[in-house]
């Protein structure tokens, strides 16, 4: 039932002692980084005096901006020769955020993911088809190594190409898939359109779904369409990737592995701690990673934590589904996108006027993104062929920035609504 019984069911008092011990190691590593050395100095903090988890609250939180601003090595705590891999946050070009791993870091991450998979019943003998992107995205390689560690036959197929996915699932008798929830529903509908029944003609017992927010209703629909269990998987590349928090078979909240991270849930405005059940922003401190220590990372993800112990016997606290974000990032087909990325592309195109709008929707289980762009009058009322070329150019430039291709619609200047307050740039009509 447990991958590591002792640690998974460790009494909370001991677990917190372990956290405080590991915090010392994290602080030690942090002092070796340019970023934290400077942060401690500026804030007159002596890391040697930070002994308890309480004390940690005196350290200012770290943001994605900090990671960007100190690219490429500002957060690196080990000699470069010890680094064996890097991952970088999805969906952003320009200055990315980079996370470095030593061989031992990767080993620990692999174990962390194996623990999650084992918890929901993945075993040696399972056939695991990983439909997440490989490469810089962490959902591919991160989950891959965890599944191999358990001894499952692991198929690194990556995302997309539904017919091929279905062919693999049928021929290799796939029992477990890792998939983005919005794609799971689309895949089920494609399976049906091939004249197959996802419940009868496949061998699936488990889906691991993550990388984007989804509701309990969506999960139930996925489970019903496949006749299999679907478990929520939460992670972010700054905190390794998948494996940060994962549902157990009770499907009520996700266990956040507290031997790997120190969890805080805080009010995003005041940074005051929230009580159990109160939605706030998740702050995470790495407790089990050498190359890139991060202290009090502002994930911008909103959720609450549970106080009650879980019937599964694991003592690591549970967090709720992600309820939203404390910034304006949205996730499209698993890819994180900031409206500012789209704005930057558009504003660099001379023909584009100042107003634009991003409309997200879902049609036939497919997420769609439409970018409406106002064009300056001298270009809008001109040659149709030129306009079409402009549209294609905008599309291509957006694609290279955000890694997905939106539909682009050029509109007459002054035709998009203007708001008096903060511009509403993103209209999300997808039902979660
Ligand atoms: P990945 O490459 O694994 O998608 P990223 O770092 O690109 O990781 O994205 C992490 C972000 O994705 C999280 O901060 C969160 O907003 C979102 N996310 C990941 N998993 C989930 C989940 N299960 N539910 C809701 N949002 C999620
Ligand atoms: K994501
Ligand atoms: Zn549990």
Mutating to test ligand 1, I would choose from 89, 234, 255 the residue with most ligand atoms within 8 A of its C-beta, which is 234
Residue 264 CA to ligand 2 center (angstroms) comes to 21
pLDDT more than 70, % of the chain: 99
Q: How far is the CA of 47 from the centre of ligand 1 (A)?
A: 31
To which CATH superfamily is domain 5-327 assigned?
ANL, N-terminal domain (3.40.50.12780)
Each residue of 87-103: pLDDT tens digit? 987 545 567 899 999 99
- The ligand that comes nearest to the alpha carbon of residue 231 is 1
Total Cβ atoms within 10 A of residue 135:
12
Q: For residue 201, how far is its CA from the centre of ligand 3 (angstroms)?
A: 31
Ligand 1 pocket, mutate which of 244, 247, 299, 336 (most atoms under 8 A from CB) = 336
Q: Which pLDDT score is estimated for 90?
A: 55
CB 230 within 8 A of CB 217: no
DSSP H helices, 62-161, are 64-69, 103-119, 138-150
Cβ proximity of 84 and 102 under 8 Å: yes
Gap from CA of 248 to ligand 3 centroid (Å): 5
In CATH, the architecture of 338-428 is: 2-Layer Sandwich (3.30)
* Beta strand extents in 103-222 (DSSP E only): 127-130, 153-155, 176-179, 206-210
Ordered by start, the domain boundaries in the chain are 5-327, 338-428
Mean pLDDT to the nearest integer, 216-245: 97
Categorize the per-residue pLDDT at 431 as very low, low, confident or very high, splitting at 50, 70 and 90.
confident
> Which protein residue's CA is at the shortest distance from atom 2 of ligand 1?
137
- ipTM score for this prediction: 0.98
pLDDT at 257 over 60: yes
Backbone φ and ψ of 401, nearest 5°: -85, -45
> Quick one: pLDDT at residue 418?
83
Looking at ligand 1, which residue's alpha carbon is closest to its atom 8? 236
Give Cα separations from 222 to 46, 188, 219, 360 (angstroms): 50, 8, 5, 21
Kindly state the average pLDDT of the residues 260-275: 98
Ligand nearest to the CA of 329: 1
Q: Does pLDDT of 420 surpass 80? A: no
Question: In this model, does residue 423 exceed pLDDT 80?
Answer: no
Q: Which residues line ligand 1 (CB under 6 A)?
A: 89-90, 137-139, 210-213, 232-237, 241-242, 299, 301, 322, 331, 334, 336
Mean pLDDT along residues 298-302? 97
Average pLDDT, the chain: 95
Please report the atom of ligand 1 found closest to the CA of residue 232.
Answer: 23
Give the separation between CA 76 and CA 99, rounded to whole angstroms. 8
Rounded Cα–Cα distance for residues 223 and 175 (Å): 14
């Amino acid at each position: 039932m447990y991958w590591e019984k002792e640690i998974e069911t460790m009494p909370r008092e001991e677990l917190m002692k372990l956290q405080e011990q590991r915090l010392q190691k994290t602080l030690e590593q942090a002092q070796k980084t340019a970023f934290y050395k400077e942060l401690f100095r500026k804030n007159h903090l002596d890391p040697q005096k930070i002994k308890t988890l309480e004390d940690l609250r005196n350290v200012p939180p770290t943001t994605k901006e900090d990671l960007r601003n100190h690219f490429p090595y500002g957060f690196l705590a080990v000699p470069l020769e010890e680094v064996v891999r890097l991952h970088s946050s999805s969906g952003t070009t320009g200055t990315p955020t980079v996370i470095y791993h030593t061989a031992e870091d990767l080993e620990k991450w692999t174990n962390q993911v194996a623990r999650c998979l084992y918890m929901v019943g993945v075993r040696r003998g399972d056939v695991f088809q990983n439909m997440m992107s490989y490469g810089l995205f962490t959902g591919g390689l991160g989950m891959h190594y965890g599944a191999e560690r358990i001894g499952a036959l692991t198929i690194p197929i990556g995302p997309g190409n539904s017919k091929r996915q279905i062919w693999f699932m049928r021929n290799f008798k796939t029992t477990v898939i890792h998939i983005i929830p919005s794609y799971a529903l689309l895949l089920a509908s494609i399976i049906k359109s091939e004249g197959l029944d996802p419940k009868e003609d496949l061998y699936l017992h488990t889906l691991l779904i993550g990388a984007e927010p989804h509701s309990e209703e969506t999960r139930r629909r996925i489970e019903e369409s496949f006749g299999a269990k679907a478990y929520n998987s939460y992670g972010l590349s700054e905190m390794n990737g998948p494996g940060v928090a994962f549902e157990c078979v009770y499907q009520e909240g996700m266990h956040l592995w507290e031997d790997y991270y120190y969890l805080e849930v805080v009010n995003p405005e005041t940074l005051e701690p929230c009580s159990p059940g109160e939605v706030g922003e998740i702050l995470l401190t790495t407790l089990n990673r050498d190359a890139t220590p991060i202290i009090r990372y502002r994930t911008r993800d909103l959720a609450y934590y549970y106080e009650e112990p879980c019937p599964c016997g694991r003592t690591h606290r549970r967090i709720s589904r992600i309820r939203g974000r404390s910034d304006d990032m949205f996730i499209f087909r698993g890819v994180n996108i900031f409206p500012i990325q789209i704005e930057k592309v558009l504003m660099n195109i001379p023909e584009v006027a100042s107003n634009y709008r991003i409309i997200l929707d879902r049609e036939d289980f497919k997420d769609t993104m439409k970018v409406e762009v106002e064009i300056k009058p001298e270009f809008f009322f001109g040659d149709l062929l030129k306009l079409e070329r402009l549209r294609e150019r905008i599309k291509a430039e957006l694609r290279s920035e955000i890694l997905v291709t939106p539909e682009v619609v050029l509109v007459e200047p002054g035709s998009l609504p203007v708001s008096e307050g903060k511009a509403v740039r993103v209209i999300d009509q997808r039902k979660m």
